[in-house]
Amino acid sequence: MSKEMQEKIDALEKEVNQLRSRVSELEVRIKGAPLSQEVIKSQGPKSSWVEDTKEKLTKEGLESVIGGKLLNRLGIIILLFGVAYFLKYSFDNQWIGEVGRVVTGLAAGVLLLVAGDLIMRRNYRYFSQGLTGGGIGVIYLSTFAAANFYSLISAGTAFILLVMAAVAGGLLAVRQNAFGVAVLSTLGGFLSPFLIGSTESNILFLLCYISVLNLAVLGLAYYRNWPSLNLLAFFGTALAYMGGQQSIWQPSIGAVWLNQAFLTLYFLIFANLTFLYNIKHGKPTKTPDIVLLVLNAAFFFTASANNLDSYYNEWLGFFAILLAVAYLGFGIVLNKRKITDKLLYLALLGTGLAFVTIAIPLQLEDERIVTTAWLVEAIVLVYAGLKGQNPWIRKGGLALLSLVSFSLHMDQPYFLEQQLPLLNHYSLASCVSIIGFFFVAHMFYHHRQTTSRERILVWPSAVIGTFLAMKQISWEVTTAISYFKLDYSEAFAISLFWAVLALFLMVLGMTRDIKGIRFIALALFCITTVKVMILDLSGLSMAFRVLLLIIIGVILVGVSFVYQRKESKGGGV
C-alpha cells in the first residue's frame, strides 16, 4: 500500500471519529431538551369541526363559499321546484301533452348531467356538482310523474329508469368525490312525490321508489362516509312513508303485510348505514351514526306498531322482544368478533334493553304484573352488567330500579277489596324493589369490577332499602290488623316489627362483619326508640306500654351485651 493511500485512510478514520463524537453530543442535548413547538403541535389533539370549518372558510374565503357554493345549491333546489310546478301547471292548463311534459323533464335532466360533466373537466367543481345533482333530481321527478301521476309507463319500466338514475348519481358522486351531487340527487328524489303532489296514487310504486333511493344511498355508504346524507335519506323515507299512509284508514291484511315488508327493508338498510363504512374501513363510530341507529329503531317500531295494530295488537310485545333479541344478539356477536368499537356496542345493547323495557307493558297488559316485571328486569340488568363488566348496563339497571321503585312507593295503593297481607301484587312488587336495593348494595360491595363512584352507592342503596322495608312493614302490619280484625294497636305492632328488622340487620352485620350494616341497624334502633317514647306510649294502654318497653329494652340491652362481649375478646366492633 502506498504512503499516499495510507494517509487518506488515516484522514478518513479521523473524520469518522469526529462525526461520531458530534453525533454523541447531539444525542445528549436532544434527550435533555424540551420538545419544539412544531413537535408539540403535531402531537396535539386533532382540530375540531369548528376549527376545520374556520380554516376552510379562511382558505376559500367566505364570499367564495357563499357565492360559489351556497348559491349554487340553493339555485338547483329552486330549479327543482320550478320544474315540478311547470309539470303540474302545464297539466292543469293542458299546455303540453302528458308525454311531452315527461320527455321535456327527462331531456332537461340529461342535459344537466352532460353540462355538469363538461364543466367538471374545466375545474368548476361546485358549479358542476350542482348541475349534476340537479339533473339526477329532475330525472327522478320526471320518472315519478310518468309512472305515478300520469300512468304513462308501467311500474316495471319506471323502476328500471329509477335504478339507472340512482346508479348514475352514485357513480358520479363517487367518481367526483362530490358530496353535493349525492345530497342534491337524494334530496330531489325524496322531494319528487311531494312536489308532484302525489304520495297516494300507487302505494306499492311509492314504497318501491323509496327503496331504490335508499339502496342508492346504501351503495354510496360503502365507498364514502357521508353521515349527513344517511340522515337526509332517513328523514326523507320517514316523511314519504307517512305521507303515503295518510289516506289509508283501515288497510286490508294484505296491505298490512306489504307495508311491513317495506318497513323491514328500510330498517335493514338504515341499520347497515350506521356501521357499513366504519366496519369496512376500520373507522370508529361517531355521534351521527348513533343518532341514526336510535332514530331508525324508534321509527321502525313506531311505524310497525301503527301498521300492525289493526290485526296483530296482541303481538306487539312479542315484536318488541324480537327487536330486543336482534339488537342484543348483534351487539354481542360484533363484540366477540372484535369488529366493532365500544360506542356502537353500547348503543346496540342500550337499544336492545330499551325494547325489553317497552315489551313488558305491551305484552303483560295487567298493570299489576308490569311493575314487578320491570323491577325484576332492573335487577337482572345490574347483575348482567357486573358479570359482563359493562358499567353502562348496570347503571341502566340501577336507574330503572330507582324510577320504578319511586313510582311504586310514592303512590298509596288502593284496593276495592281488602287484601291478604304479603299475598297481593303490591306486596310482591314492594318486596322485589326492597330486595333489589339490598342486592345492589351487596353486589357493589363485594364485586371487584365496580368503579370507585359505584362503590359510593353501596350504603345509600342499603339505606334506601331499609327505609322502604320500614314503610312496607308498616303497610303490611296495618293491612294484617284490618284483614284479620285483630284487637291490637297499630303503633305497637309497627314499632315491634321495626325493632325486629333492626335486630335482623344487627345480626347480619355482626356475622358478616359489615360495619355499615351495623350502623344502619343502630340508626333504626334509635328511630324506633324515639318513635316509642314520643309517639306510641301516649296512645297505648298500660299493658301494651309495659310489654312494648320491656321488649324494646331487652333488645337494646342484648345488642349492647354483644358489643361489650366483642370488645372484651379484643375483636373490635
Residues 6+ apart with CB under 8 A from 276: 218, 221, 222
Closest CA to 282 of 230, 341, 228: 341
Of 207, 97, 196, 85, nearest to 145 (Cα)? 196
How many angstroms separate the Cα of 439 from the Cα of each of 381, 386, 510, 517? 12, 12, 19, 13
Q: Largest alpha-carbon pair distance within the chain?
A: 131
Task: Provide the pLDDT for residue 39.
Answer: 39
Percent of the chain with pLDDT over 70: 82
The whole-angstrom distance between residue 512's C-alpha and the CA centroid of its chain comes to 40
Instruction: Report, in this order, helix, strand and coil percent for the chain, each rounded to 5.
Output: 80, 0, 20
d(CA 294, CA 197): 30
CA distance 270 to 281: 18
What does the block give as the cell for 390?
A: 359493562
Average pLDDT for 112-119: 81
**Grid cell listed for 516:** 355499615
Specify whether the CB–CB gap between 441 and 458 falls below 8 A: yes
| Whole-number Å distance between alpha carbons of 347 and 399 | 17
Give the lowest-confidence range in 242-256, 381-395, 455-469: 242-256
The residue among 514, 510, 374 whose CA lies nearest residue 438 is: 514
Distance in angstroms (rounded) separating the CA atoms of residues 148 and 155 = 8
Query: Is residue 403 predicted with pLDDT exceeding 70?
Result: yes
The count of C-alpha atoms lying within 13 angstroms of the C-alpha of 535, restricted to the half-sphere facing its C-beta, is: 11
Q: What is the overall mean pLDDT for the chain?
A: 80
485: left (phi over 0), alpha (psi -120 to 50) or beta: left
Spatial distance between the Cα atoms of 56 and 61, rounded to a whole number of angstroms: 8
User: Residue 12 has what DSSP assignment?
Assistant: H
User: How many residues make up the chain in this entry?
Assistant: 573
**Over pLDDT 90: what percentage of the chain?**
23
Q: Spell out the domain ranges in the chain.
A: 68-247, 272-363, 407-568
**Higher pLDDT residue, 341 or 314?**
314
Q: Which of 132-136, 299-303, 424-428 has the lowest mean pLDDT?
A: 132-136
Q: H helices of 448-489, where?
A: 452-455, 458-483
| pLDDT over 60 (residue 33) | no
Specify the amino acid at residue 73. R
Q: pLDDT digit string (tens) for 176-234?
A: 787 877 887 787 778 777 766 655 557 888 888 899 889 989 988 888 888 889 999 99
The winner for highest mean pLDDT among 88-97, 318-327, 354-363 is 318-327
Q: Which amino acid is at 573?
A: V
Nearest 5°: phi and psi at 345? -60, -45
Q: Which of 234, 280, 271 is nearest to 348 (CA)?
A: 271
Nearest to 346 by CA among 334, 357, 337: 334
Are 73 and 180 a contacting pair, CB within 8 Å?
yes
Backbone φ/ψ region at 2: left (φ over 0), alpha (ψ -120 to 50), beta? beta
The set of residues, in sequence order, having a beta carbon less than 8 Å from that of 445 and lying 6+ positions away, is 455, 458, 514
Q: Give, in order, the Cα–Cα distances in Å from 463 to each of 288, 401, 466, 470.
A: 41, 15, 5, 11
* pLDDT score of 30 more than 60: no
Q: Which range is least confidently modeled, 12-26, 278-292, 451-465?
A: 12-26
Closest CA to 572 of 508, 507, 515: 515
Indicate whether 35 pLDDT > 50. Answer: no
